[in-house]
């Protein structure tokens, strides 16, 4: 058992954009400080140093994961030497013993959970992974905007009861040319559709720019290289998995990784009834989506996963359930392939 020095303190940080509530506890749980400080590393560090009568031997701090919190946590860890932990906000809120919500109480709860070693942790991703996440998520935002523009065009066509001939595929050059030249639209609808077409073209170019940056960023990444060597795994899928998962070896097992990705079935058993209730609602939705899409492609391009798909379908299971099962099995298998010793080989 590790015995901490007398001057060890435990700090809870309730983060806000303009300020941070700082609570400091000693080893016995006595509150040494609970005040609001400006949102800066120097101010927070000065407050902790003042209440502990000088620089403490060690500072064990906790902060809830939110926008900007990881940046402050990394700064306090690297420049101040604090032992920082990023806490899961949902699980922390469930541990409160009061329905009231105050910064004072939240900061104290974080400090106390850190002190007793019962803090629900979230991985503190390094800066390069957080930068990759921003790039991947920005691309997805552009894709969503493009999809919405296309849906608005479709809505206008339905509103005007206009249909193209069946032998022309939508969003091809021929289809766009017909859309711009058809006489079936009113003047105002034609103008609105022209604006949407311009938005689709602009967003298409911006998405291509983001993908070019991703290609440059991922050129020397060993994890992405190995992912892209798998049949059916392209740049976007590999970059999304690298950004959201980060390091595969931070998980203790493939099952834990699959649960993080939201690919494990949720148990809904009670009494004598044993049942599943679909996939668990956990993890990043975009990460789960790209893995499910990858599993769909793997069933056609990889013999191993294709045979698994055929076997499950022959048992009478629905295809969407089978693809989710393939994704679960694949990500658990991938966990072992992405360990550092496997990447170095």
Domain of 39, CATH number, reads 3.30.420.40
The range of the structural domain enclosing residue 95 comes to 9-122
pLDDT at 266 (0 to 100): 76
3-state helix, strand, coil in the chain (%, to 5): 55, 15, 30
For residues 210 and 145, membership in a common domain is answered with yes
pTM of the predicted model, to two decimals? 0.86
1 occurs within a structural domain: no
pLDDT reported for residue 270: 66
pLDDT at 4: 43
In a domain, 4, yes or no: no
Residues of the chain with pLDDT under 70: 1-6, 53-56, 268-277, 344-345
Residues 204 and 296 in one domain: no
**Is residue 279 domain-shared with residue 313, that is, in the same domain?**
yes
Report the pLDDT value the prediction gives residue 290, as an integer from 0 to 100. 95
Tokens of 44: 């927070």
CA dist., res. 47 & res. 73, Å (int):
16
Report the number of distinct structural domains present in the chain: 3
**173 within some domain:** yes
Q: Are residues 337 and 226 in the same domain?
A: yes
103 and 53 in a common domain: yes
Which of 286, 289, 307 lies closest to 298 in space, CA to CA?
A: 307
193, 217, 241 — which closes off a domain?
A: 217
Residues 62, 114: one domain?
A: yes
Question: Can you tell me which residue has the tokens 């740049």?
Answer: 235
Q: Are 121 and 86 in contact, with CB atoms under 8 Å apart?
A: yes
Q: Which residues pair with 343 in a beta bridge?
A: none
In a domain, 326, yes or no: yes
């Amino acid at each position: 058992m590790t015995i901490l020095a007398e001057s060890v303190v435990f700090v809870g940080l309730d983060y806000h954009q303009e300020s941070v509530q700082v609570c400091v506890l000693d080893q016995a749980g006595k509150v040494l400080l609970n005040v609001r400080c400006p949102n800066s590393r120097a101010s927070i560090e000065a407050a902790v140093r003042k209440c502990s009568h000088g620089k403490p031997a060690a500072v064990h701090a906790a902060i809830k994961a939110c926008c900007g919190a990881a940046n402050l946590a990394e700064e306090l860890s690297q420049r101040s030497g604090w032992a920082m932990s990023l806490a899961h906000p949902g699980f922390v809120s469930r541990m409160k013993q009061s329905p009231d919500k105050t910064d004072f109480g939240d900061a104290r709860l974080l400090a106390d959970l850190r002190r007793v070693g019962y803090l629900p942790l979230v991985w503190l991703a390094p800066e390069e992974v957080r930068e990759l996440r921003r790039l991947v998520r920005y691309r997805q935002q552009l894709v969503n905007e493009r999809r919405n523009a296309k849906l608005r065009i479709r809505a206008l066509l339905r509103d005007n009861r206009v249909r193209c001939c069946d032998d022309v595929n939508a969003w091809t050059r021929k289809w766009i040319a017909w859309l711009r030249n058809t006489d079936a639209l009113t003047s105002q609808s034609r103008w609105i559709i022209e604006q949407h077409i311009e938005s689709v073209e602009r967003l298409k170019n911006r998405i291509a720019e983001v993908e070019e940056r991703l290609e440059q960023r991922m050129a020397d990444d060993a994890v992405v290289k190995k992912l892209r060597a798998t049949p059916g795994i392209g740049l976007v899928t590999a970059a999304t998995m690298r950004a959201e998962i980060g390091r595969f070896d931070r998980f203790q097992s493939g099952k834990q990784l699959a649960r993080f990705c939201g690919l494990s079935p949720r148990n809904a058993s009670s009494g004598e009834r044993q049942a599943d209730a679909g996939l668990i609602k956990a993890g990043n939705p975009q990460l789960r989506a790209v893995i499910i899409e990858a599993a769909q492609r793997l069933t056609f391009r990889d013999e191993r996963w294709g045979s698994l798909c055929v076997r499950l379908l022959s048992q009478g299971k629905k295809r969407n359930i089978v693809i989710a099962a393939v994704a679960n099995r694949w990500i658990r298998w991938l966990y072992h392939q992405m360990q550092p010793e496997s990447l170095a080989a």
